[in-house]
Amino acid sequence: MSGELTTMDNAQPIAVKPICPRCAYDQSGEAARWTETCPTRGTCPECGLEFSWTDLYHPHRLLIPWYFEHARAWSPGLIRLVRSCVVLLNPFAFFRHITVEVAPRPRRLVWLAVLLIVVPWALRAMCLSAVALISPPSIPMGITRSTLSQVVEPWLWPFLRRQWWWGENDRSIITIDGDGYVTMTHMWPSVVVFAMGLIVMPGIILALLTTSRRVSKVRWSHLFRCFIWGLLPVCLMIWSRTLSAMGYLFFTINDEYLKINLRGPQDVCDVIEKFFLEHRQHLALPAVFWLIAYWSAALSLGLRLPKAWLVATLCLIAAGLLGAIFTLISGVRLDWLA
C-alpha cells in the first residue's frame, strides 16, 4: 500500500502520514515493517484503537457528509452547520458518528464558536446600537442621558447593564449615577445558572481527570470539540434575542421613516417578546435536560471514557454546586421556576 494520494484535479501525489485518529500516534513505523503482506486492518500500539489502513491512508473515506468540520468550503459549510445542529438535537445520534476516531480540526472548531456565539451576539448588539442612534431623544422619559451609553450597553449583554430607577409601569426614569453599570447576573433565574454550570463544569472536570484522559487517549482537541458543540443552548438563546433585536430595529425604522401600518405584526412580536421574558426560566428547563443528555452521550459514545456514566454524574453534581455557589455570590433568585 502506498503512502501517497493523488488529487483528482491535477493528478499530483500528496504524501499522507498515517496517524491514529484517536491519539495521533504516527503509524508509519508499523507500515514500514510490512515486507510480504499488506494487512487491511491494524491496531494502534499506543491506544489500542482498531482501524482500517485504507482509512488512514485515505482519510477522505471518514468524512461525514452532514458534519460541519468536514466541509471543504464556506457555502456548503454553513449548510452543514445547520444540518449538524439539527442532528445535535439528539446528542446520542450525534455522538454515534462523532467519536474519538473522527479527528478534530481545531481551526474549524474556532470558526464554529464564532458562528454559534460571536456572530449572533455582535449582530444583536449592532441592531440595538443602531436603534439608539436612529431614535430621537425622548425627554423627560429618556432611556439614558447619553446616546453613547445606549450604544455601549448592548455590547455588554448579558453580563452588565445600566443602573436604573424604576417608575410606575416599569418605565425607566433616569440612571442612578449617570451611566454606571452593574451586573445582570442577579436577574438570571436559578435554572439558567444551573444550565450554565452544565456547560462549564464538565469541561473543567474532564481537564482535571488526567488519568482517565490518559487511559482513554483523549486529546485536548477532543475536549474542545465537546465543549464547543455543548454551547448549542447558548447559541439558540442568543439567536432568539438577536431576532428580537432585528425586529425591534425594523419596527423602529418603520416608525421613524417608512410609516407603514404594521400595527398587527408589531403587536404579535410584542406578545412573543413578553412571553419569552416572562417564561425564560421555564424555557431553560429543556436546555438543562438536553445538556444532561449531551454530556452523557459525549462521555460514553463520543469520548468513550471508562466509567463514563460515573463521570457524567460527577459533572452533574459539580454543575449543581457551581450553580449554588454562583447563586450565593451574585444574588440570583433562589426560586427555580417562579
Averaged pLDDT for residues 30-43 = 74
In a domain, 2, yes or no: yes
Residue 66's pLDDT band, with cuts at 50, 70 and 90, is very high
Are 107 and 51 within one domain?
no
In a domain, 75, yes or no: no
Are 168 and 260 within one domain?
no
Averaged pLDDT for residues 52-65 = 75
pLDDT(337) > 70: no
Q: Where does a domain end: 143, 161, 183?
A: 183
| pLDDT score for 281 | 73
Are 18 and 151 within one domain?
no
Nearest CA among 158, 186, 200, 219 for reference residue 291: 200
What is the amino acid identity at position 131? V
Are 214 and 276 within one domain?
yes
| pLDDT score for 122 | 94
In a domain, 84, yes or no: no
- Is 63 in contact with 80 (CB distance < 8 Å)? no
Are 191 and 238 within one domain?
yes
Domain count, the chain: 3
Q: What is the dihedral of CA 333, 285, 279, 138, to 10 degrees?
A: 70
In a domain, 147, yes or no: yes
Are 215 and 249 within one domain?
yes
In a domain, 311, yes or no: yes
What is the amino acid identity at position 148? L
Return d(Cα 280, Cα 285) in angstroms, integer.
9
pLDDT tens figures, 184-240: 555 666 777 777 778 888 888 888 877 777 777 788 888 999 999 999 998 988 888
pLDDT(179) > 70: no
Are 252 and 268 within one domain?
yes
pLDDT tens figures, 246-272: 888 888 888 777 778 777 777 777 777
pLDDT(58) > 60: yes
Listing DSSP states for 204-257 in one string gives HHHHH-HHHHHHHT--HHHHHHHHHHTTHHHHHHHHHHHHHHHHHHHHHHIIII
Nearest CA among 55, 48, 49, 45 for reference residue 18: 55
Residue 155's pLDDT band, with cuts at 50, 70 and 90, is confident
pLDDT tens figures, 293-313: 999 899 889 888 777 888 888
Q: Which domain holds residue 160?
A: 135-183
| Mean pLDDT over the full length of the chain | 76
In a domain, 56, yes or no: yes
pLDDT(4) > 80: no
Averaged pLDDT for residues 274-302 = 84
Q: Which residue has the higher pLDDT, 278 or 122?
A: 122
pLDDT(87) > 60: yes
Averaged pLDDT for residues 280-289 = 82
